[in-house]
Amino acid sequence: MPVSDQHAALKEIAGRVLGSKAAKNFTVPPGHQVLASKGQNELSAIKSSASDLMSSQGLIAPLEMDPAQLRDAIRQSAIRQVGSENADKLIVPSNPRVSVVTGQGPGAAIEKGTKSLLAQQKISAPKTGIPVNIPINEQHEAIRSFAEKQIGPQKAARLDIPENWSVTRRPGQTESQGIKGSAIALMQKQGFIDVRGDNKISSQSKYTNTKKGRPNKGDKD
């Protein structure tokens, strides 16, 4: 690969790792040339060179964490991103390395490092969504509780939650976010609420708490 193309590839990698704003501080020395070691392909050599350059310029630093704790954190991050079943397929190195971008917290670095590791091993979330790791009866209780806060206890009592209704979440969502989305879907489907394009409940649909003995707005039929 011509040196000019190597430099373009190095800058592209830096942009993905650092983000467009921080990548403006990344420089490639004019005479820099990437040489692959024996048994190493060119792309791997370019990635390694980009990492070395970013480290030398103080743009990234290795995350200082006990390897066992880091492996556990990566595993937990994988569960959040692709679900427990698919996370079991992930092979985590015995001594994993995660780089922290300047200004980035360790949690965000682990999430990003895990995402990269999952992509390398071609592991993705199920298309049908990730099942939440909560007993189904507790899922239904949480849905009902959320509904009570949104539309009031009287209307929430009439919300029909099918016996086999099971909550799934999108990759990156927490279980509570999955339950909230599931509750909103049920309430909308049964005509209890209107939902805006950003999946937020419209103000007209929301429940208003009792004030000075007046009826609850959300409990009016």
pLDDT at 74: 93
Joined together, the tokens standing for residue 3 give 């040196």
At 211, the pLDDT band (50, 70, 90 cuts) reads very low
- Side-chain half-sphere exposure of 163, counting CA atoms within 13 A: 0
- Within 10 angstroms of residue 115's Cβ, the number of other Cβ atoms is 16
Task: Return the sign of the alpha-carbon dihedral for residues 204, 207, 208, 214.
Answer: positive
36 pLDDT higher than 50? yes
Neighbours of 205 (CB within 10 A): 16
pLDDT exceeds cutoff 70 at 5: yes
pLDDT of residue 217: 47
Mean pLDDT of 20-35: 89
Supply the pLDDT for residue 214: 47
The string of pLDDT tens digits covering residues 58-115 is 888 888 889 999 999 999 898 888 888 888 899 998 888 888 888 778 888 898 889 8
pLDDT for position 201: 65
Predicted confidence (pLDDT) at residue 1 exceeds the cutoff of 90: no
| Through-space distance between the first and last CA atoms of the chain, rounded to whole angstroms | 71
Q: Would you state the pLDDT for residue 86? A: 85
DSSP 60: E
- Please state the rounded mean pLDDT for residues 49-65: 89
Q: What pLDDT digit, counting tens, does each position of 133-192 carry?
A: 888 999 999 999 999 999 999 999 999 999 889 898 887 788 899 999 999 989 998 988
Contact (Cβ atoms closer than 8 angstroms) between residue 145 and residue 105? no
204: confidence class by pLDDT, cuts 50, 70, 90: low
Tell me phi and psi for residue 101, to 5 degrees: -75, 145
Question: Residue 21 CA to chain centroid, in angstroms?
Answer: 21
pLDDT at position 157 is: 92
Find, among 98, 107, 120, the residue nearest to 80 by Cα.
Answer: 107
SS3 (DSSP) at 101: strand
**Per-residue model confidence (pLDDT) at position 209:** 52
